[in-house]
């Protein structure tokens, strides 16, 4: 099925497999399935709309709406809705059900969810507060200990100024690193130790200013090596020669003669980039432990594999049968058109619902609730009768099957993650912005024998973003055998298919 995006007018394809997915995850009420329609926006416009609802780094000092305490928040003081310190939000001394109301069939759904949203308390930061230890300056994270200004991260300790440090220790200024320790300015690395400026690499130690290494030790300014030791600029050295060349070196960029069509580790039948332990995933980026999914981004490893998901932006850790969500995770099951829903089942068109919510529709900031509509309690029978009526109303207004529109996002576009991938505003110039060094940060520089950076963490983050490939795929030919490849690599690069890449390695 060919369609034209109602937002950008570009043509996109909906396959039979896509239609089967939409049918399989269509919700059932009182034994009657309500069909989810095919999307009206192209994949890029859907992604942009979702991540306009996600703010990771634009943090503000404001007052807690309940206690007056000064706190750090992803919401500015100007937001209409109350914002609670995370200790207060996660406590049991308030109830979001107090704001419950009936659905008004004379108004649109999105109009009413925005009205409810503006009355219900929000958490200051999107963190799993009960799992955080001495990590008060982090956002969109959980299970952290002694971390500072890291984002989209879980199960990390002593990490600073990074995004996507998962199952990591002592990593600083990194982007998307997994199960690693003592990394500085590294990106897309898996199971690496004591490395500086290492990119797209796996199972390496003491490798610096290098790219696309696997199983290497003591390599410098090298690329596309496998299981090598003491290599400088892709040339073998004795240990003494290696140390002398490293000491005398003044270069920082490794020579790269050819590129792999996709940066991946242990994938099968996948398209996209930066994938780890993925199978049957199409057009997915920055995901690990994901199967049978499409158009997913920034999904992390959990105790269970995430599978059968479409159009999920961020979080992961065991999500199943979810569609069109931003920030869904911790074993979510069948979450549809929602934002910041965790540890829940069958929650649709809701915001910030977690801790085992079930069968909720159009709700905000609920915990441990079931059969709720617009924060009002119903019986199972009442719930299953009313929700289909609301959906029928949403069909008449063109809302059913659509994620929340950008225009009602609580964030300025320039503060949202969407600005990083689909810039519409001028890029903020952070040069000259004051910053300070943390004690643990200074200890790290000393341990790794590194000079202190001269630019602040925001400038460093923007520079790292520029080193990563965009989330855009194109059809190209392998530069060696001319076979068809789907890749995010720029067309001017010499890019090889998997077989040609593997056979060309040193």
Range list of H helices, 109-267: 109-117, 239-248
% of the chain surpassing 90 pLDDT: 97
- Tell me the per-residue pLDDT of 395-408, one tens digit each, with 9 for 90 and over: 999 999 999 999 99
Q: What is the DSSP letter of 179?
A: S
Closest of 368, 369, 364, 360 to residue 351, by C-alpha: 364
Q: Residue ranges of the domains in the chain?
A: 2-46, 60-125, 143-260
Closest of 284, 272, 176, 266 to residue 487, by C-alpha: 272
Asked if pLDDT for residue 373 goes beyond 80, the answer is yes
Average pLDDT estimate for 131-145: 97
Answer for the pair 165, 154: CB distance below 8 angstroms, yes or no.
Answer: no
Write down the pLDDT at residue 451: 95
Asked if pLDDT for residue 506 goes beyond 90, the answer is no
Residue length of the chain: 506
State the Cα–Cα distance between residues 503 and 506, nearest whole angstrom: 9
Query: 112-121, 245-254, 429-438: which range is least confident on average?
Result: 429-438
Asked if pLDDT for residue 478 goes beyond 90, the answer is yes
Beta-bridge partner residues of 354: 367
Asked if pLDDT for residue 425 goes beyond 90, the answer is no
Residue with tokens 């199952």: 167
Model confidence at 431, pLDDT cuts 50, 70, 90, reads confident
Average pLDDT estimate for 194-204: 97
Average pLDDT estimate for 481-497: 98
Residues 6 or more apart in contact with residue 111 via CB below 8 angstroms: none
State the Cα–Cα distance between residues 241 and 430, nearest whole angstrom: 41
Model confidence at 430, pLDDT cuts 50, 70, 90, reads confident
User: Strands, E, within 42-126: which ranges?
Assistant: 60-63, 70-73, 83-84, 122-123
Answer for the pair 84, 125: CB distance below 8 angstroms, yes or no.
Answer: no
pTM score of the predicted model: 0.96
Write down the pLDDT at residue 427: 78
Answer for the pair 387, 66: CB distance below 8 angstroms, yes or no.
Answer: no
Average pLDDT estimate for 184-211: 97
Model confidence at 422, pLDDT cuts 50, 70, 90, reads very high
Asked if pLDDT for residue 429 goes beyond 90, the answer is no
Asked if pLDDT for residue 126 goes beyond 90, the answer is yes
Model confidence at 281, pLDDT cuts 50, 70, 90, reads very high
Write down the pLDDT at residue 337: 98
- Tell me the per-residue pLDDT of 263-279, one tens digit each, with 9 for 90 and over: 999 999 999 999 999 99
Structure tokens at 315: 């979080």
Which contiguous run of DSSP H or E holds residue 500?
helix 498-503
Beta-bridge partner residues of 132: none
Model confidence at 59, pLDDT cuts 50, 70, 90, reads very high
Asked if pLDDT for residue 8 goes beyond 80, the answer is yes
Model confidence at 499, pLDDT cuts 50, 70, 90, reads very high
280-315 in b/e form (b: 16+ CB < 10 A) is ebbbbbbbbbbbbbbbbbbbbbbeebbbbbbbbbbb
Answer for the pair 168, 183: CB distance below 8 angstroms, yes or no.
Answer: yes
Asked if pLDDT for residue 234 goes beyond 80, the answer is yes
Write down the pLDDT at residue 133: 97
- Identify the three-state secondary structure at position 440: helix
| CA count, 13 A, side-chain hemisphere, 381 | 0
Average pLDDT estimate for 33-56: 98
Average pLDDT estimate for 158-180: 97
Q: Can you count the helices (H) and strands (E) in the chain?
A: 10, 37
Asked if pLDDT for residue 479 goes beyond 90, the answer is yes
Asked if pLDDT for residue 322 goes beyond 80, the answer is yes
pLDDT, mean over the chain:
97
């Amino acid at each position: 099925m060919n369609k034209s995006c109602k937002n950008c007018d570009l043509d996109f394809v909906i396959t039979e497999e896509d239609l089967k997915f939409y049918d399989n995850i269509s919700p059932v009420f009182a034994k009657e399935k309500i069909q989810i329609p095919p999307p009206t926006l192209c994949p890029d416009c859907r992604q942009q709309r979702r991540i306009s609802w996600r703010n990771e780094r634009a943090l503000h000092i404001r007052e807690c709406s309940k206690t007056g305490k000064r706190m750090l928040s992803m919401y500015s003081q100007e937001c209409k809705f109350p914002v609670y310190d995370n200790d207060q939000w996660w406590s049991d001394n308030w109830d979001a059900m107090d704001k419950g109301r009936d659905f008004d069939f004379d108004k649109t759904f999105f109009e009413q969810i925005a009205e409810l949203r503006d009355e219900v308390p929000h958490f200051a930061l999107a963190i799993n507060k009960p799992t955080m230890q001495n990590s008060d300056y982090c956002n969109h994270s959980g299970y952290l200990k002694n971390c500072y200004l890291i984002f989209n991260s879980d199960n990390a300790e002593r990490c600073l100024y990074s995004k996507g440090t998962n199952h990591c220790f002592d990593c600083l200024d990194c982007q998307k690193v997994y199960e690693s320790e003592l990394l500085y300015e590294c990106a897309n690395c898996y199971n690496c130790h004591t490395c500086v400026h290492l990119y797209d690499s796996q199972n390496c130690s003491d490798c610096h200013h290098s790219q696309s290494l696997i199983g290497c030790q003591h390599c410098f300014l090298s690329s596309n090596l496998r299981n090598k030791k003491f290599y400088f600029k892709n040339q073998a050295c004795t240990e003494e020669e290696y140390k002398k060349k490293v000491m005398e070196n003044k270069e920082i960029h490794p020579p790269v003669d050819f590129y792999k069509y996709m940066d991946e580790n242990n994938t099968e039948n996948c398209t996209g980039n930066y994938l780890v332990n993925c199978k049957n995933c199409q057009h997915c980026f920055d995901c690990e432990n994901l199967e049978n999914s499409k158009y997913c981004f920034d999904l992390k490893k959990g105790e269970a594999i995430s599978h059968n998901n479409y159009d999920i932006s961020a979080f992961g850790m065991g999500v199943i049968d979810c569609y069109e969500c931003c920030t869904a995770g911790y074993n979510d099951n069948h979450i549809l058109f929602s934002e910041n829903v965790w540890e829940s089942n069958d929650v649709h068109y809701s915001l910030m619902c977690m801790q085992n919510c079930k069968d909720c529709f159009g709700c905000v900031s609920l915990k441990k609730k079931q059969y709720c509509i617009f924060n009002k309690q119903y019986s199972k029978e009442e719930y299953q009768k009313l929700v289909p009526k609301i959906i029928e109303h949403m069909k008449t207004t063109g809302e059913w099957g659509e994620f929340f529109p950008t225009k009602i996002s609580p964030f300025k576009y320039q503060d949202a993650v969407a600005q990083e991938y689909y810039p519409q505003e001028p890029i903020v110039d952070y040069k000259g912005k004051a910053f300070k060094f943390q004690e643990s940060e200074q200890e790290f520089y000393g341990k790794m024998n590194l000079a202190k950076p001269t630019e602040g963490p925001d400038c460093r983050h923007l520079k790292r973003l520029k080193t990563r490939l965009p989330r855009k795929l194109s059809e190209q030919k392998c530069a060696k055998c001319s076979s068809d490849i789907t890749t995010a690599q720029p067309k001017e690069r010499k890019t090889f298919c998997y077989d040609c890449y593997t056979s060309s390695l040193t």
